[in-house]
């Protein structure tokens, strides 16, 4: 089956000779200067006509990432009272005017791009709110079905995409990830049918924010109720994204992994959720070995707070389990990870290779045209949505490398 999709995106410019620079304490920035245009699907959207900052392969620099960066000065990385957000782009923070001025040569381009995208989004929202049809009050959930709302939805998506392309790279500011996630979730509230593919970006952002349970619930809803051919996306009385606290340790939803029409971005996020659980279980095993088999109560609290994520940390039964029980659970999750890995590889053989060997390709080689399922272009697009979450999880990419051998 050969199905083409048209991307709802953007003009970006990249370069030939990279100029390396640290945009955060753990990440390399490449500024590209030669234009390579990616054309918009709508003439109403703004062009990103200047250079974009890109992330290089973290491992090439020997840098180990661990989660999103806390709110801090974009230049000096200090975290202190009085830190203020850039008034223009409203996306990054500075501790002083001196730091902001010193960083301006590198911040100038993304700042202008983000401001331009935000200005258009705010203009479209104002226009829509002033319309007598009261779209935001009377048509929630059906936005894309109403032609007048589409410029607003495109502009809002473009605003989020510009923020993520500029400062959404691995170890990027936590505030930016939270802002983007709020926008995307609200866009889904306004348009359940999601013709822009907003849902593909959400799970990885949840994971980056340490909300693995929410990510799993989101993916499971789309793999179950969202797969129902009789689900009426225009019926606002039907439940929507109502899966809560699903069992993350269960077997993967068949609607996701067995479908010939795989939601690749959701599958990649699901593999990462399982990998993070597996890494946490291995951390518990290592702690038990270090303590020669016994885990005192105070150590359990330390494990919950520092060594494991919220999914495993919320399970007292797992933290208190006997060694053989933990081993059985490790084996179970390993089998799930292996099965998911194989399913993704069978569906799109390009994705894992790109994620492990060329994580920057999702930005540097981002497709600008209609693409077919199971192609390298699909893999590149999904890579751009997911690679930061993988590289912010210590040990995750190493585990992938082991699976690929």
Are 291 and 344 part of one and the same domain?
A: yes
Beta strands at 53-55 and 27-31: parallel, antiparallel or unpaired: antiparallel
Q: What is the pLDDT of residues 7-48, one digit of tens each?
A: 443 323 323 333 222 223 222 222 222 222 222 333 333 333
Residue 405 pLDDT class (50, 70, 90 cuts): confident
- Among 36-45, 254-263, 288-297, 347-356, the range scoring the smallest mean pLDDT is 36-45
Are 182 and 206 part of one and the same domain?
A: no
Domain contains 362: yes
Are 140 and 206 part of one and the same domain?
A: no
pTM of the model: 0.84
* Residue closest to 204 by CA, chosen among 277, 279, 278, 270: 270
Dihedral angle over CA of 382, 8, 69, 65, nearest 10: 20
Say whether pLDDT at 301 is over 80. Answer: no
Are 302 and 368 part of one and the same domain?
A: yes
Are 183 and 251 part of one and the same domain?
A: no
Q: What is the pLDDT of residues 135-158, one digit of tens each?
A: 999 999 999 999 999 999 999 999
What is the pLDDT at residue 291?
73
Domain contains 54: yes
What is the pLDDT at residue 321?
86
What is the pLDDT at residue 305?
63
What is the pLDDT at residue 66?
65
Say whether pLDDT at 330 is over 90. Answer: yes
What is the pLDDT at residue 259?
63
Domain hosting residue 58, numbered range = 1-64+105-197
Give the mean model confidence (pLDDT) for residues 65-88: 87
- Which residue is it, tokens 């590889």? 345
How many separate domains does the chain show? 2
Are 119 and 238 part of one and the same domain?
A: no
User: Among residues 197, 227, 255, which one ends one of the domains?
Assistant: 197
DSSP state string for 99-144: HHHHHHHHHHHHHHHHHHHHHHHHHHHHHHHTSTT-HHHH-TBBGG
**Cα angle 192, 197, 200; round to 5:** 105
Domain contains 60: yes
Say whether pLDDT at 180 is over 70. Answer: yes
Are 363 and 226 part of one and the same domain?
A: yes
Question: Within 10 A of 394 (CB to CB), how many other CB atoms are there?
Answer: 13
Give the mean model confidence (pLDDT) for residues 294-301: 68
């Amino acid at each position: 089956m050969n199905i083409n999709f048209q991307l709802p995106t953007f003009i970006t410019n990249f370069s030939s000779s990279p100029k390396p620079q640290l945009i955060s304490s753990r990440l390399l920035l490449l500024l590209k200067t030669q234009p390579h245009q990616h054309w918009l699907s709508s003439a109403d959207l703004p062009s990103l006509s200047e250079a974009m900052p890109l992330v290089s392969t973290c491992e090439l620099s020997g840098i180990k990432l661990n989660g999103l960066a806390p709110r801090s000065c974009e230049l000096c990385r200090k975290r202190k009272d009085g830190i203020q957000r850039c008034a223009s782009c409203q996306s990054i923070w500075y501790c002083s005017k001196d730091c902001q001025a010193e960083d301006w040569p590198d911040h100038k381009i993304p700042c202008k791009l983000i401001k331009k995208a935000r200005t258009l989004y705010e203009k479209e929202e104002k226009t829509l709110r002033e319309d007598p049809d009261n779209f935001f009050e009377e048509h929630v959930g059906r936005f894309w079905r109403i032609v007048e709302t589409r410029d607003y939805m495109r502009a809002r998506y473009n605003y989020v995409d510009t923020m993520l392309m500029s400062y959404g790279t691995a170890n990027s500011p936590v505030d930016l990830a939270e802002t983007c996630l709020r926008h995307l979730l609200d866009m889904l509230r306004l348009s359940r049918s999601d013709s822009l593919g907003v849902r593909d970006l959400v799970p990885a952002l949840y994971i980056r924010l340490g909300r693995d349970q929410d990510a799993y619930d989101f993916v499971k809803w789309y793999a179950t109720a969202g797969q129902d051919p009789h689900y009426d996306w225009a019926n606002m009385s039907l439940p929507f994204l109502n899966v809560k606290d699903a069992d993350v340790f269960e077997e993967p939803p068949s609607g996701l992994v067995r479908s010939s029409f795989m939601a690749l971005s959701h599958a990649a996020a699901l593999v990462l959720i399982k990998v993070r659980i597996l890494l946490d279980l291995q951390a518990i095993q290592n702690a038990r070995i270090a303590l020669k088999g016994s885990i005192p109560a105070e150590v359990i609290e330390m494990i919950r707070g520092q060594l494991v994520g919220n999914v495993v940390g919320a399970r007292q039964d797992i933290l208190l389990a006997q060694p053989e029980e933990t081993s059985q659970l490790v084996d179970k999750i390993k089998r799930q990870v292996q099965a998911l890995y194989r399913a993704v590889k069978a569906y799109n053989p390009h994705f894992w290779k790109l994620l492990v060997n060329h994580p920057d390709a999702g930005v540097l080689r981002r497709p600008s045209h209609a693409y077919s399922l199971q192609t390298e272009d699909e893999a590149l697009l999904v890579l751009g949505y997911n690679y930061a979450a993988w590289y912010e999880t210590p040990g995750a990419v190493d585990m992938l490398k082991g699976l690929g051998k």
